[in-house]
Amino acid sequence: MENKIPKHIAIIMDGNGRWAKKRGLPRTAGHKQGAETIRKIAIACNDRQIKVLTVYAFSTENWKRPEEEVDYLCKLPKFFFQRYMAELKKNNIQVRFLGEIERFPKETQNVILTAAEETKQNTGLILCLAVNYGGRREIVLAAKQYAKDVLEEKASQDLDEQTFASYLMSKDMPDVDVMIRTSGELRLSNFLLWQNAYAEFIFTDTAWPDFDESELDKAITEYQARDRRYGGLK
Ligand code: IPE
Ligand code: IPE
Ligand code: MG
C-alpha cells in the first residue's frame, strides 16, 4: 500500500492564457508552451511507470472562446504530433483520445487518429488526450447507446455500474487515482465526472506551462500520503 504508484493521473491543464498574459504574449503562446509541458510530463509519467495520463486539452465548453483561439487550439494536435511523435514512439508511449473529434477540422481528426493507430501496439504509458470532451456529454452519449442496445435487445435492462462504465469513452481505462488542476482554480469544469468518483484531488497555483517533474513528484508523494478509504474504515 505504501509508496503506491498511481495507475491513472488526470490533469486539468489550466493557466496557459494567464501565463502568456503575464509575459505580454498572446494567449496562443501559452498554449504552445503548454504543449511542450504535455511532452515533458508524459515522458516523466512513463519513466515513473504510471499506466495512464489523461490530459484535458479542449472541453465541450471551450468552443465559447474567440474564434482565433479556438482555431489555434484545433490546430494544436497537428503541431504537437509533428513535433513530438518520434519521441513519444521512442518511449513506447501509446496515444489515445477521449471526446467527439468529429467537430474538429478533418486534418486534425486525421492527425489524432493516425497518432492513436501508429502507437496502438506500444506498451508504455497511455497518453490520453481529452479533446472536445465533456463529462456530462460522455454520460449522455453512454445512456443513449445503452438505451438503444436495450431496445434492440443487445443489452439486459438490469444495468449495473460496471456495465454502464463499459459504455463510456474511457471504457478500457482504470478510474482516476490522482486528479491535478494547475493554476489555482478549484473546480472540475466537467472533466471525467464518473471516473473521478474516488480520485484524490491535488491543486497547485503553478500555471500549466511552468508545471514540471518536481511538481509531478510532489503530487505523487502527496497522493501516497493520503488515506483512501472508499467509504470504509481504517
Ligand atoms: C488551459 O488554459 C488550456 C485550455 C483550456 C485549452 P486556459 O486557456 O484556460 O488559460 P487561462 O485559464 O485562461 O489562464
Ligand atoms: C478547463 O479549463 C478545460 C481545459 C483545461 C481544457 P477552462 O479554463 O476552460 O475552465 P474554466 O472555464 O476555468 O472552468
Ligand atoms: Mg482556464
Per the CB < 8 A criterion, the answer to whether 4 and 224 are in contact is yes
Give the domain CATH number at 202.
Answer: 3.40.1180.10
Is residue 157 domain-resident?
no
HSE of 115, CA atoms in CB hemisphere, 13 A = 27
H or E element: which one contains 70? helix 67-90
Q: Which residues have their alpha-adjacent CB atom under 5 A from ion ligand 3? A: 14
Is residue 214 domain-resident?
yes
End-to-end CA distance of the chain: 13
Whether 86 has a pLDDT exceeding 60, the answer reads: yes
Instruction: Find the 27 Cα to ligand 3 centroid distance in Å.
Output: 11
Is residue 139 domain-resident?
no
pLDDT digits (tens, 9 = 90+) for 161-195: 999 999 999 999 999 999 999 999 999 999 999 99
The total of structural domains in the chain comes to 1
pLDDT digits (tens, 9 = 90+) for 61-81: 999 999 999 999 999 999 999
Is residue 230 domain-resident?
no
One-letter amino acid for residue 108 of the chain:
T
Is residue 166 domain-resident?
no
The answer, yes or no, to whether any atom of ligand 1 lies below 6 A from the CB of 62, is yes
* 131-156 average pLDDT score: 98
Strand order in the sheet with 52-59: 94-98, 126-133, 52-59, 8-12, 178-181, 200-203
Of 46, 47, 62, 217, catalytic: 62
Is residue 108 domain-resident?
yes
Rg, the chain, Cα only: 18
What is residue 201's three-state secondary structure?
A: strand
Is residue 231 domain-resident?
no
- pLDDT range class, residue 117, cuts 50, 70, 90: very high
For residue 84, what are the domain limits? 8-134+175-225
Helix axes 27-47, 67-90, angle to 10 degrees: 20
Is residue 210 domain-resident?
yes
* CA 203 to centroid of chain Cα atoms: 16
CA distance 52 to 127: 6
pLDDT digits (tens, 9 = 90+) for 3-53: 699 999 999 999 999 999 999 999 999 999 999 999 999 999 999 999 999
- The pLDDT, as a whole number, for residue 42 is 98
- Could you tell which of 16, 59, 208 is best to mutate to test the pocket of ligand 2, judged by most ligand atoms within 8 Å of the CB? 59
Whether 1 has a pLDDT exceeding 50, the answer reads: no
Helix axes 27-47, 213-225, angle to 10 degrees: 60
